[in-house]
Chains A and B, each alone.
Chain A
């Protein structure tokens, strides 16, 4: 028996080796590296060199990751797109947790989309692998960039170019180590919307109560919150919704700690501050716990005025940041379960009326947090706190609409997807608000809701019809595919967006910086896996008090020394 088994195992091994040897390298799939050579087939210029005409594609294959589900009216969206443009739209939305797997399989199987939604973690990788069309030239020549698009009201559509710039990267696709000036800052994707980021929400009702009882240890009755030394120009909605709490808001770290201590002494079961982990799992890594990280950055970054990357984990200010977190944890100001918290668990703690401060997304979540908190405590208010003097908020790079190099007519795809969805007109209405519909009633009962909104006055105002995301929700629709409140251009949106949403976004926009897309190569990706793991471990150990901040940073530098060296070489080499 033993002999038989050995013989069988040996046969199998030999067979596998033969198969592997015989089929050493399979056939590769061609993308479309010569797409530029076909340009004149699709683009016509005026005599003065301006873009005159772009040939309309017959069909566009679009793959999306968010919102355009069948339940959200994908079929109607497609029909309306075809009606408005005359282009056949092949639209797919894989399951969210399998999105990139499906995208990769489509490349491996030669069924690539013309254009797809790509998050900032994956965007530079796809560009590096030559999967994305370099759209720098088309953007520079486009109607949107050059102010040739007009909205419903006849006004020129303007765009906030910082979000386009945030997606400009230096691709490493040549892999020869030599990058010419022409290859720097190239655009491989168009921003769908603002990247958005997190703000710290504070329980306004507790804050006011403690402030009025003089238990906070500070007061700001006569001075307005500032950002980088200047008073923040809050919009009217913010003042109306949250203005009454501003005099009690902490302005610096010491006051923030006083507030947390006051929360702790208010009730035994209160968690003064919680978050979904000590460090984010993807860049920007320090998007949570801004009050503790302050100016320290647990990542490789290029300091202002420098042209070289540094390792933020090894900087002295990181030791200070770790010390702040460790002290707060030890004092019981920070959630004891912060290491194991998921976003949902920390959110639920907030809804259960147990949490004083919680760092979470601005915009739509400002409304949701308030709404769900008030189910437990009708007086509960989640107030977005302006950043402390020592810090600022961080905006993620935008999600990109990236044209693949498989697209035969990338100019056409840009024109009828990227630009059409930001045209300040019917296209943008469809992409951001969905399809017009109506409420069909049977007597007093709602029988069917056929679309997302109904025009009240032609292209001036509209009323929202359907619940957003969850059919059980009582909230009216806010978006079709691309979130209108995160619009990057001057869209005369006919549907009212609540102050809680717009004002928190406005405050965030005025007090944040946009994080650049992380530089990525195959070596960087490899090294970052190990670095991220060690960084997470070390920060957890320091905060739990198992190591001092100095010991923690030293452990990080020792254990990740090889990977850190790789990173510095790849980033600065």
Chain B
């Protein structure tokens, strides 16, 4: 009964506040919250300067533009050229495939490990485990690539030495199209899973112990508690993290760049590595690069929109 009283009061207060605000009108409301608006100004300025003003550069996607002369309006030519390039579509497909699988694996492993960590009772062990699994995140991709190149080396790598001792043939893990993606996903998980658990561990600590107590009284075991309490409680966090990461999936670059090579372009080349190679040829064609960037942003926007719709369908509310 007590908890019901607590939950109703703020709602009533909020309702009264909202109706008062409506009566005041915009001017009155601005006046009333003037201090908050003043505090918001720096954020607004930063947003405008660094997020909205640069959008002015989108115009270059429709021009032939180099740093050495005036931009020439060419309409959709840059996009036509982009969509006609077979290599681009290969890179586009790889970007989606590598990023989405990586994202799904990231969610599964991060949530899974967060749940396991939540079960560790001894604080010292929990802290040690957390530290150990966070550490790889702080290594740069170049270092990680170096480590795994040594481990997976066909000549001297420990994995191949073990395979050979066991009577198997040596495997060219990083130059073999069949192996490259699996290795890529594995290395990504090794590096980033620990870091990915942070937000879920935080969310887990926010779940009311009362719920578990009540479930226990009702006879629910650990698995059922996880299924019916923990996962539903985490669902909002999972969706937020998923949607935020989904918006970034077109930006995959460094992890691929340090691990790929000519033998695996078919399965590894992504949009960013493709545009990097275009840039390496020294065309200085900023118009084309902007068109690629704009296309990436549009795809990311569509993906976020799609996730939002899915979120509305699954949870009854969107987050955008």
Q: Give residues in A with beta carbon < 8 Å to B.
A: 1-2, 5, 8-9, 16, 19-20, 23-29, 31, 100, 104-105, 107-108, 121-122, 125-126, 129-131, 269, 271, 277-278, 281-282, 335-337, 339-340, 345, 520, 522, 525-526, 528-530, 532-533, 536-537, 539-541, 544, 559
Contact = CB atoms under 8 A, between A and B. Distances in A.
B282 A125 contact: yes
Given A121-B282, A129-B284, A107 B266 contact: no
Nearest to A24: B73
Given A1-B318, A25-B72, A337-B153, A16 B58 contact: yes
A20 B62 contact: yes
Contacts of A27: 70
Contacts of A105: 67
Interface stretch (B3-11, B111-119, B226-234, B273-281): B273-281
A19 B282 contact: no
Contact of A525 (B72, B175, B283): B283
Contact of A31 (B63, B68, B305): B68
Given A24-B62, A104-B284, A529-B281, 7 more contacts: A5-B305, A16-B55, A19-B59, A20-B58, A29-B67, A340-B175, A533-B269
Nearest to B64: A522
B305 to A, nearest CB: 6
Contacts of B155: 271, 335-337
Given A2-B318, A337-B154, A339-B175, A130 B262 contact: no
A5 B318 CA distance: 9
A260 B320 CA distance: 64
A528 B262 contact: no
Contacts of B87: 530, 533
B2 interface: no
Contacts of A528: 281
B293 to A, nearest CB: 13
Contacts, number: 134
Contacts of A19: 55-56, 58-59
B85 interface: yes
B93 interface: no
Nearest to B88: A530
Contact of B265 (A100, A131, A537): A537
A25 B265 contact: no
Interface string B161-184: 000000000001011000000000
B70 A281 contact: no
B69 A129 contact: yes
A324 to B, nearest CB: 19
Q: Which 4 A-B pairs have the closest CB atoms?
A: A28-B70, A536-B262, A108-B67, A107-B67
Nearest to B90: A533
B154 to A, nearest CB: 5
Given A129-B66, A530-B85, A26 B283 contact: no
A281 B280 contact: yes
Contact of A131 (B61, B68, B70): B68
15 contacts: A5-B308, A19-B55, A19-B59, A20-B59, A25-B63, A29-B68, A107-B68, A129-B284, A335-B155, A336-B155, A337-B155, A340-B149, A345-B149, A520-B282, A529-B281
A104 B312 contact: no
Contacts of B172: 336, 544
A536 B265 contact: yes
A345 B154 CA distance: 14
B309 interface: yes
Which among B63, B277, B281, B320 has the highest number of chain A CB atoms within 10 Å? B281
Nearest to A110: B67
Contact of A544 (B73, B85, B175, B277): B175
Contacts of A131: 68
Given A16-B55, A23-B59, A544-B175, A340 B70 contact: no
A130 B69 contact: yes
A408 B260 CA distance: 46
Nearest to B146: A345
Contacts of A537: 262-263, 265-266
A271 B153 CA distance: 13
Given A2-B318, A23-B59, A336 B263 contact: no
Contacts of A278: 262
A93 to B, nearest CB: 19
Given A125-B284, A336-B172, A533-B87, A130 B263 contact: no
Which among A335, A530, A532, A536 has the highest number of chain B CB atoms within 10 Å? A530
B21 interface: no
B276 to A, nearest CB: 10
B261 interface: yes
Nearest to B153: A337
Contacts of B55: 16, 19
Contact of A2 (B69, B70, B309): B309
Interface in B277-309: 277-278, 280-285, 301, 305, 308-309
Contact of B282 (A108, A122, A269, A335): A122
Contact of B70 (A25, A100, A335): A25
A540 B176 CA distance: 11
B247 interface: no
A184 B149 CA distance: 48
B213 to A, nearest CB: 35
B317 interface: yes
A559 B67 CA distance: 32
A525 B62 CA distance: 20
Contacts of B320: 5, 8
B108 to A, nearest CB: 27
B71 A26 contact: yes
A27 B65 CA distance: 11
A295 B318 CA distance: 64
B162 to A, nearest CB: 17
Interface in B79-106: 81, 85-87
A539 B262 contact: yes
A39 B204 CA distance: 75
Contact of B312 (A2, A125, A269, A335): A2
Nearest to B58: A20
Contacts of B308: 5
A12 B265 CA distance: 36
Given A2-B312, A336-B172, A129 B68 contact: yes
A540 B284 contact: no
A161 B253 CA distance: 44
A104 B67 CA distance: 6
Interface string B32-58: 000000000000000000000001101
A24 B278 CA distance: 24
Given A5-B318, A5-B320, A28 B265 contact: no
B55 to A, nearest CB: 6
B281 A100 contact: no
